Amino acid sequence: MTIQISDFRVYIEKKCSFGEYSIAAMLNSSKIADKIKHKKVIIPGYVAAMSGGLQEDSGWEVLVGPREASGIPKYLKTVWK
């Protein structure tokens, strides 16, 4: 049996409570896009590696924020538009 990396990634994400798959599912099923004027989501810098997959799976623009929550106010003032 041959397992491809992409198959393994999907398997792991479906088994984990936090990953690209679960975040994309929440964004799309929550209907939050109906309540806001943009389709942007900020993820912590520590999980920046998932930004491409999350953007592809969800259709939202994914912004990589600061590593620590204490950096969010500065990030919003300088990056958020």
Neighbour count for residue 58 (Cβ, 10 Å): 20
Give the torsion through C-alpha atoms of 20, 43, 60, 57, to 10 deg: -10
CATH number of residue 23's parent domain: 3.40.50.11600
Q: Tell me if 9 sits within 8 A of 3, measured CB to CB.
A: no
Look up the domain containing 73 and give its range. 5-78
Place of tokens 């990056």: 79
The number of beta carbons lying within 10 Å of the beta carbon of residue 73 is 10
The total domain count for the chain is 1
Per-residue pLDDT of the chain (81 residues; tens, 9 = 90+): 444 444 445 544 455 556 787 888 888 888 888 888 999 999 888 888 899 989 998 999 999 999 888 898 999 899 876
- Rounded CA separation 61/68 (Å): 20
